[in-house]
Structure 1
Amino acid sequence: MKKVMVMFMTVIMIMSFMTCGFAATDLITVKSNIDNVTTENKYFVISGEGQPDTYVKLILNDQLNDKWVIGDTGLFARLIRLVLGDNYITLKATKNGEEQIVKGHIKLEYKDGVLQITVNTLKDLLDILFK
């Protein structure tokens, strides 16, 4: 009877260690603060890290904005262009059938009644004037 109890306890301990060993980890971790942020800059960088070979889709205001595969370094950074008002961000990460979704909200506001714009080229100026 003692041997059966020892064997039973050993099996229970091995099973509990195996369960802990296979616990799911995040596919990506976003380092930029994207949770209810207010800004006056129309450009925003989303950066973070993730497991190599993870496929990531960046969805901005319900439209696919960018997609990429995380490289060997595990680091990523993407520049997005915000629209005036509310901007809703969704990052969908997938790898080996696992999926992780990270959501955020960034609000672009006027500064002192004037919208700040950054123009690098004549084309950018024309795009802003004729939108």
Structure 2
Amino acid sequence: MSNIPANLKYTESHEWIRVEADGTLTVGVTDHAQEALGDVVYLELPEAGRTLAAGEACAVIESVKAASDIYAPVAGEVVESNQAAVDAPESVNADAYAAWLFKIRPDAAADLGKLLDAAGYEAVVANA
């Protein structure tokens, strides 16, 4: 079974979301997603300042098997992208929860209520 930390939020499209003390959200791909993708060889991340709609494809993760879009979990503005992950895409395979991809300042905190908790995401993975 994939590693699904209880302290994070999740999307059905396999992004994890950590709520930071300043209200920003750190976003990455789940352990399940990196397992399914295989060896990650390339990341394309959104630039700081970009405004995203909830569910908008905003980044690309490529592995030796496939390329997949990464979606914004909520509407908001990108405040930072993880250049270290771009420079070493294999870090996503090494630890999917340490290799965050981008940070977003949500337009509405209430949007967090639409995200899945660990049990909800576990059910998505189990039914995949």
TM-score by length of 2: 0.30
Q: Whose strand fraction is larger, Structure 1's or Structure 2's?
A: 1
Higher relative contact order (CA 8 A, sep 6+): 2
TM-score between the two structures when normalised by the length of structure 1: 0.29
